[in-house]
Copies of this chain bind each other. A is one copy, B any other.
């Protein structure tokens, strides 16, 4: 069972979480619980680290030492884990807290956004087998050399799935503030439907492409270890929920399962780039070195046989870094000029059924065209099609596609 920050925002909510844990125990289940920091605590701790990193009271904020950042921020989940264990014990449910280094949740040494490498939770598993609820501090682990590490924002989902895999749990229940995974964002499409089941692969695309219900890395781990993972609501735990499962377990395969969108997109175009071998690596090598994650790429067909236009996208937060990297290499690349915009968004259709249904992409293009929406960039994989459009059309595009693929609730 995993509970996020809003589910443990104060002692009353922690008590509610404890009743949900108690219910599972009383059903005869053996339980590990992964908790986030109380809502607001992480932001407070992060703000302190930023303030502490200024060399003097008037100084500009530098980046805090990342290892120490982790020490400070990990305290948030430590507090929640202890408080939930206290609450459970007070209710007569035997429980103890497990911090990242105690489990242990072994991670890489990339402090601030470490990657879980293994959860050899032998002692914890023995305690659970012995009838004790294990309350695990989410979001944190231990890097080589016994330094505390954190997984980056949203990392508690990943902790939960990795712990579930580590102790070979029969199920991983992610309790959150929504009651499942929807065909698309219900705030944009009131007719969005909750999915009973979704394939791991589909969920992975949904998460990567903008659906915020689960962190991408958590879905990767669930998929890799085949952990049956449910998404359900802390506040209405008996209603609905969505099960992440193997493709084979999904009987009815519609061509499109869900529609995701992301506004966190920026587009850069290099005009009149020499159309010759090596130019792509001259552009994307420096971008990779600058830590820019290039997403979509499109290279126009050369009109004059000598030069071409090249467009790519990255997140808005990376836009300035990307431009600086390109400009620093302007001679090596040899373009005429660069244009950029953050006034774009990405809309994606996702579905494992796409493999069996030709013409799925065509429906997307025609639907958008019918609404007068221009497609700027296209990228596809076996189970998704993404298009870049002007941001102002996002809601319209998502609604139109939701209807076109017959996802609307009756």
Q: Enumerate chain A interface residues (CB-CB to B < 8 A).
A: 11-12, 14-15, 45, 48-49, 51-57, 62, 64-65, 67-72, 74-76, 78-79, 81-87, 89-92, 96-97, 99, 101-102, 146, 148
Contact = CB atoms under 8 A, between A and B. Distances in A.
B83 A52 contact: yes
Nearest to A51: B11
A53 B12 contact: no
Contact of A99 (B69, B71, B90): B71
A45 B89 contact: no
A71 B90 contact: no
A41 to B, nearest CB: 10
Given A54-B90, A57-B15, A90-B55, A96 B67 contact: yes
Contacts of A90: 52-55, 62, 64-65
A404 to B, nearest CB: 49
A49 B75 CA distance: 15
A87 B59 CA distance: 12
A52 B146 contact: no
Q: Report the copy number of this chain in the oligomer.
A: 2
Contacts of A84: 52
B82 A68 contact: yes
Contact of A53 (B75, B87, B102): B87
A75 B79 contact: yes
Contacts of A81: 71
Nearest to A57: B12
A15 B68 CA distance: 15
Contacts of A48: 11, 79, 83
Contacts of A69: 82, 86
Question: Which among A74, A86, A90, A102 has the greatest number of chain B C-beta atoms within 10 A?
Answer: A86
A351 B53 CA distance: 47
Contacts of A51: 11
B96 A68 contact: yes
A81 B99 CA distance: 18
A89 B96 CA distance: 35
A52 B12 contact: no
A104 to B, nearest CB: 10
B65 A85 contact: yes
B86 A82 contact: no
Name the residue in A14, A45, A78 with the highest tally of chain B Cβ atoms < 10 Å from its Cβ. A78
Nearest to A89: B65
Given A72-B78, A72-B79, A97-B68, A52 B102 contact: no
Given A52-B90, A53-B86, A75-B75, 6 more contacts: A55-B90, A65-B85, A65-B86, A68-B83, A70-B82, A102-B146
A393 to B, nearest CB: 44
A108 B369 CA distance: 73
Contacts of A96: 67-68
Contacts of A55: 90-92
Contacts of A75: 75-76, 78-79, 82
Of the listed residues A51, A57, A83, A148, the one surrounded by the most CB atoms of chain B closer than 10 A to its CB is A83
A54 B91 CA distance: 8
A83 B67 CA distance: 11
A64 B101 CA distance: 23
Contact of A86 (B57, B64, B79, B97): B64
A325 B89 CA distance: 28
5 contacts: A52-B86, A55-B90, A65-B85, A72-B78, A101-B101
Nearest to A45: B79
Contacts of A86: 49, 52-53, 64-65, 68-69, 72
What 5 pairs between A and B have smallest CB-CB spacing? A71-B82, A72-B82, A75-B75, A52-B86, A68-B85
A214 to B, nearest CB: 27
Contacts of A82: 49, 68-72, 75
